Every structure is written in structure tokens, then in C-alpha cells.
Amino acid sequence: MKKINKNLITIALTSLLISPILSHASDLKMNIKTSPTIRIVGGEIVKEGVRPWMTSLQFDGQHFCGASLISESWVLTAAHCVEDITKNNLNSLSVRSNFISLKSTSGSKASVADVYIHPDYNQQGKNASDIALVKLSTPITNVSFIKLATDHIISASGKPNAMASVSGWGALQQGGNSPDILQKVNVPIVSNQVCNAKEAYDGKISSTEICAGLVKGGKDSCQGDSGGPLVITHEGKFVQAGVVSWGEGCAQANKYGVYARVNSFNAWIDNIKKGNGTGLGGGNGGGNGGEEPQQPEDGTLISGQLVTGLSAQAENELIFKIDVGPDAKLLWLDIAGGEGDADIYLKHEQAPTQEDYDYAPIKWGNDEHILIRKPESGTWYIKIVGYEAFEDLELMGFAR
């Protein structure tokens, strides 16, 4: 008989899942992203029509990340927003621009043709290339799009202490309710030298990132605004200087908001728009090339990459491992789908056994999940054991 492990940390599915349990781990992870989060901190409501290019990325019709309309057929966002999009769930992704209330039916909507993630993006490393393009199936016309900053524009109007602003759908203060009205917050540009100071991010900021915020905190973007635009004013017009990427906490002292620096990626953006790239839905772009993911040869999982087609007989086992960096805030492991009954065991720095492990849900069926907040850095070993024979199992792990 299966034992219940009192020490496990698992996800309460009733609070994370919007629909019944999904067979694809990537879809399950997308549902986590669409769960409510705190967002713009210290902001104010945006007036109708002021930021028509502000875009909502939506999965099954629900907002989960910000974005910006940069042309009639292209939207710019963060790579970490769309890293879980595959050719199997691409048709669930859509965009909506030129509106301020998520509860309204106004604005311009479009389905998505494909998604292009910058090839240097790596969730397990520094998010120095946390940028992605979304190609629309049909163009959004009669809506003003935002111009992207160049090196010249940044030199003229985006120097340290220049005022910028970031917008998104969310609360006016950390821990507050999340109204559905678009909000913005004004924050000054911060030099990379200041952002890399020991009391701030201690050297973690790359030259392809830009920081903004107040040294005392109080105003910031936050998780739900990921992918949204950081804009500056150049010659009286808005220009996009950054893409909301990451930060420690929200609006904390010395912990500035970190953004992908748009002018570092203009060449890549132009190449993708000219057709020199392949997206998640149709080829070799974005990690696994749109092809069916394969079992890693040495058992090392790539964070955020789905592994499919796993099978084993009863009492047989499969061993994997995942590396977790020193700054990771969570470690998530998920098995799902297929037939039979598999159990997942997890242990830090050595392979688990069925008697010696750190975490193991030990549930009936193949759907098991483990979430560890503030995991220890190093290598975590994963063992999947057949309580009964199983086949066509999916495995996904990610550390952030």
C-alpha cells in the first residue's frame, strides 16, 4: 500500500488550477502563470487611449503577462512569459491591445501564429536575454504601436535619472487587491553600476539589462506585469526602452526593477521580423525546435523543457537530475499524463530511494507535483518509480 509522506511540499491544485487536471505539464504550468499575483506597486490608473500599444497576453482568454504592440503583426514580451508555449497549446494564446479594463469587451484582439524566444535565453542562468516576439495571425490595424529605443535614443533620453514608466494590470500596493484597470508607475532609470552594487544585485546585472526604480523603494513593477514595456519619452513621444523581466520582491529598498534592454536586441528583432528565424510552433526555435521533446541522454533536465514518452515496468525506475542555482526562489517538479501509476521521489545531492527521500507525493495515478520554495542550491535527483507499469508519461522541472 502507498504511504502518505507527511513532510512533502506539494501544490494545492484547487488554488492553482483553473480547469480540471490537464494532461500536459506545460499547460499546468501555464495555469500557474494565470493565477492572480500582485503587480504594479505605487501606481495610478491610465487614461483611456493614452497607451493603445499596451497589450495583454492571454491564455484561454485570461490575462497572464504584459506585452507591447510594436507593429501591426508583432508583439514584444518577455521570454519567461512564453517559455511554456508549445505547438500543442499555441492556439490557446491570444493578445488584446488598446483597452484599459480587463472586464470590458473593448480593444483589439488577435490570435497568435507563432512565438519566437531569443536563443540566448536560459531560465537557469541570468535572464539577460529575457525577450520574445509574438507573431499575430491577423494584423491589428488602426492602433498606434510603440517605437523601440535605439542606442542613440537611449543616449539622448534614457540616461540614468531620466524618468521612465511601466504599466500593467494590478494592485496599487503590494499585497493589495488586483483591480482590472490598467495602471502605470513612474520610476527613474538607474545605472547598471548602481544596480550592480553590493546592496542591490551585487554584480548580477548584464549589459543587456536596464534597471529602474527608487533607492528607497515604494514604486515598482511586479510579477504580474512581466513582459510589459518600460517606456521613456523622446522628443515628446513614448519609446520602449525595456521589457519587464525580474527583481527581488516588489518595490523594496535597493531592489530595483530589472528589464531586458531593448536597444541590445534590435538586430535580433529585425531579423525575426524579416523571417530569419523559426518559432515554437513551427521548427527549431525556442529550445526544442517545435519537435517532440526527447529524454535527455545524461538524465539532466533543462529547466522549463518538457520531456515526453517516458515508460517503465512495475518496480522499475528512471533517474533524472536538475541543477538549482544559489538565487532560485522555487523548484517545481511535475509528472502527468499517460497510463499506469508512476511515483516521483526527490532528494538533494544524491539519488533518492523509496525509503530515503526528501519529497514524494506518493499518490494514485500519474499526476504528481512537488513545489519547494527557496530550495537549496546544487543538484537535485529525481527518481520515477513504477508502482504499476506506466507509459507516455510527461516530466517537467524548473527552477527560478
pLDDT at 9: 30
Q: Residues with Cβ < 8 Å from 107, sequence gap 6 or more? A: 96, 97, 98, 99
- Residue that has been written with the C-alpha cell 494592485 in this structure: 171
Q: Is 348 a catalytic residue?
A: no
CA atoms within 13 A on the CB side of 268: 19
Of 111-120, 242-251, 278-287, 294-303, give the range with the top mean pLDDT.
111-120
Does 35 score more than 80 pLDDT? no
What is the rounded distance in angstroms from the CA atom of residue 392 to the CA atom of residue 67? 35
Instruction: Determine which of 30-44, 141-155, 196-210, 294-308 has the lowest per-residue pLDDT on average.
Output: 30-44
Answer yes or no: are the C-beta atoms of 146 and 269 closer than 8 Å. no
Q: Residues with Cβ < 8 Å from 287, sequence gap 6 or more? A: 83, 117, 280, 302, 304, 305
**Regarding the domain delimited by 147-262, which CATH topology (the fold level of the hierarchy) does it fall under?**
Thrombin, subunit H (2.40.10)
pLDDT at 52: 97
Strands 163-169, 182-190: parallel, antiparallel or unpaired by DSSP?
antiparallel
pLDDT at 176: 45
pLDDT at 31: 54
Taking CA atoms, 398 is separated from 13, 209, 290, in Å, by: 18, 23, 19
Average pLDDT, the chain: 82
From the candidates 130, 220, 343, 367, which is the catalytic residue?
A: 130
Does 380 score more than 90 pLDDT? yes
Mean pLDDT, residues 5-18 taken together:
32
pLDDT at 295: 66
pLDDT at 259: 93
Higher pLDDT, residue 91 or 284: 91
Burial classification of residue 105, based on how many CB atoms lie within 10 Å of its CB (0-12 exposed, 13-18 middle, 19 or more buried): exposed
pLDDT at 2: 41
- Residue that has been written with the C-alpha cell 487611449 in this structure: 49
pTM of the shown model: 0.68
pLDDT at 41: 58
From the candidates 226, 245, 264, 303, which is the catalytic residue?
A: 226
Residue of 316, 313, 283, 329 lying closest to 391 (CA atoms): 313
Give pLDDT tens digits for 322-359.
998 877 778 889 999 899 999 999 999 999 999 999 99
Domain with CATH 2.40.10.10 in the chain: 48-136, 147-262
Q: Is 234 a catalytic residue?
A: no
CA atoms within 13 A on the CB side of 361: 26
Answer yes or no: are the C-beta atoms of 270 and 276 closer than 8 Å. no
Element (H, E) at 357: none
Q: What angle do CA 369, 374, 379 make, to 5 degrees?
A: 75
From the candidates 24, 73, 80, 264, which is the catalytic residue?
A: 80
- Regarding the domain with residue range 48-136, which homologous superfamily does it belong to in the CATH classification? Trypsin-like serine proteases (2.40.10.10)
Strand partners, 246: 258
Answer yes or no: are the C-beta atoms of 109 and 94 closer than 8 Å. yes
**Regarding the domain delimited by 305-399, which CATH topology (the fold level of the hierarchy) does it fall under?**
Jelly Rolls (2.60.120)
What is the rounded distance in angstroms from the CA atom of residue 208 to the CA atom of residue 261? 5
- pLDDT grade for 30, boundaries at 50, 70 and 90: low
Higher pLDDT, residue 287 or 294: 294
Higher pLDDT, residue 92 or 297: 92
Query: Which grid cell sits at 39?
Result: 503587480
Does 285 score more than 50 pLDDT? no
Q: Is 80 a catalytic residue?
A: yes
Domain with CATH 2.60.120.380 in the chain: 305-399
